[in-house]
Amino acid sequence: MISFISNSKKFLLNYTRSLKAVFIALAIIFSIELSISHLLKNHDIPQKIYKENLLKLTPLKNDPYPEYTIAYKNSVFLHEEPDLLIVGDSSGLNGAKPLTIERYLSEKKVINAACCANANFDGYLAVATHFFQNSKNIKYLLLYITPYGLPSGVQKKFGNDFGEELLGVYAKPWHYIYELPSVYFRKSILDKTYRYKAPQDAAGNYENMNYFIKQTTGSDENYIDFIKKSRGWIPRIRDNKFQEMLRGECGPQLTENLYDEKSGKPTLIKTLTKFKNLTDKYNAKLVIIFNPVVCKLSPQVYPVIAELDKFKEKNPDVIIPFGLIHTYNEEYFGNQNHLNPEGAEKYSIEIGEKLSEVGL
């Protein structure tokens, strides 16, 4: 150890010399980035970068809906400075209407940044971290998930590749690499190289979503314009999976998602604790809301409720206003995990009222 340290000066000098080309290249990169940042000082570099750095922009292919939605929301709502931020799965995307919730909260701004279950809980966490890093105003983080989308269930169904990718791009210490000013030109360089324009911001890419919007609002407004106005909410109308909804008593389909496939242990508390740690770090409060379900509370789901109670006991300041099971009539659903626009309106009113009761 001593010889290592005593000799290291000489060796370090040699090593530094051998990496001369690397250091000069780094200096040039630094200068290029600084110059771009200076030249584009009147442009909103982060907003464009946040939109494009997540996208795959692979040749001749539109980015998938989740990537596109998350990238777009993270960019367009960057300067909105919300008081309440909603993250979570697609039950949140379709279930929480910021404009409705806001009506019950005095002069508080709500943004719905929820998207899709394949982002997994790490993905929800990454999105939340991104907003916390860029907005000083967030006082409440609302994690909105379906009771059918507990951590182990999501892990089993979707894996965590996308979640890790989101963490890498938005939350890990190295995410700054993706935010270098030159990334501003990424899409245009790729478009030119591939001689193919990725249809960014173009209507018609996500026909389902545009169809839902048309059915709900009667307008031809495209997905992106709608999302801007609704502050992140998207309607979901009844689809062909509606018939497959689980009715009667809530049971094993929900409880089985509590346990990790490998270890057999429950993972809910561990996962929720990550969100609690994040809100603690930014002096915010955590709110957890589960999407309503058609099934009714039954003893079969008590193990999940017991886990939630344990978490609440450890973290009394976390707000879980409706508990795990909140039963709605099936007429309010698009399908099992998604409320339809009427259901979303009804639930958002309830959320607004509850949050205002607890002092938001």
Per the structure block, which two tokens stand in for 316? 């009394």
Output the furthest CA–CA distance in the chain (Å, rounded).
77
Total residues binding other proteins (CB under 8 A): 46
Which of these segments, 184-192, 202-210, 285-293, 315-323, binds other proteins (CB under 8 A)? 184-192
DSSP string, 235-297: -----TTGGG---SB--HHHHGGGB-TTT--B-HHHHHHHHHHHHHHTT-EEEEEEPPBSSB-
190 is a contact residue toward other proteins (CB under 8 A): yes
159 is a contact residue toward other proteins (CB under 8 A): no
193 is a contact residue toward other proteins (CB under 8 A): yes
Cβ distance to other proteins smaller for residue 194 or 211: 194
H/E segment holding residue 35: helix 20-39
Among 81, 165, 309, 342, binds other proteins (CB under 8 A): 165
Among 114, 126, 183, 301, binds other proteins (CB under 8 A): 183
Among 30, 34, 43, 59, binds other proteins (CB under 8 A): 59
Among 81, 99, 103, 196, binds other proteins (CB under 8 A): 196
**Distance from C-alpha of 162 to C-alpha of 167, rounded to nearest angstrom:** 9
162 is a contact residue toward other proteins (CB under 8 A): yes
**Distance from C-alpha of 218 to C-alpha of 216, rounded to nearest angstrom:** 6
Instruction: Read off the DSSP letter of residue 232.
Output: S
H/E segment holding residue 140: strand 140-145
18 is a contact residue toward other proteins (CB under 8 A): yes
Residues near other proteins (CB under 8 A) are: 1, 4, 11, 14-15, 17-22, 24-25, 28-29, 53-56, 58-61, 161-162, 164-165, 168-169, 172-174, 177-178, 180, 182-183, 185-186, 189-190, 193-196, 262
